[in-house]
Amino acid sequence: MSEKQRQCCVVMRINLDCNACCRKVRRILINMKEVDTHMIEKREDKIIVCGRFRSSDIVVKLQKKMKRRVEILEVEDFTGGHGREQGFHDHEPPYEPEHEYSVQQPDHMTWPLLC
């Protein structure tokens, strides 16, 4: 599946001061053909957008048109394979050092004197 055709849902934060700001955001989202559904929560200053798009494209477009900072809070990917493209693993194994270093108390005679 190409990068542009990912089905996802994005939760964003943007400062929505008044009802006019909400109307402007709604108008911008309705005119985007890749957006399927959206929900605007004015009290929490959140926007939830679902559709086939890259989340960065939606954020850039909202920032340019609204002239406000947009923060991505959460991205949920609905493509097959647990939201990952081929070649990626779901979880990385925890880091394990190759060698074990023993922690020994240094001899107090080998430490330099600090005066």
CATH code of the domain covering residue 63: 3.30.70
| Residue with the larger pLDDT of the pair 104 and 33 | 33
SS (H, E, C) the chain: CCHHHCEEEEEEEECCCCHHHHHHHHHHHHCCCCEEEEEEECCCCEEEEEEECCHHHHHHHHHHHHCCCEEEEEEEECCCCCCCCCCCCCCCCCCCCCCCCCCCCCCCCCCCCCC
In a domain, 3, yes or no: no
Give the per-residue pLDDT at 78: 80
Report the domain count for the chain: 1
In a domain, 64, yes or no: yes
Q: Span 53-66, mean pLDDT?
A: 90
Give the per-residue pLDDT at 84: 47
In a domain, 34, yes or no: yes
Q: How confident is the model at residue 108 (pLDDT cuts 50, 70, 90)?
A: low
- 74 DSSP β-pair partners: 11
In a domain, 106, yes or no: no
pTM of the model: 0.62
In a domain, 53, yes or no: yes
From 5-9, 25-29, 48-52, 59-63, the region with the lowest mean pLDDT: 5-9
In a domain, 46, yes or no: yes
Q: Which domain holds residue 52?
A: 15-77
Q: Span 78-99, mean pLDDT?
A: 54
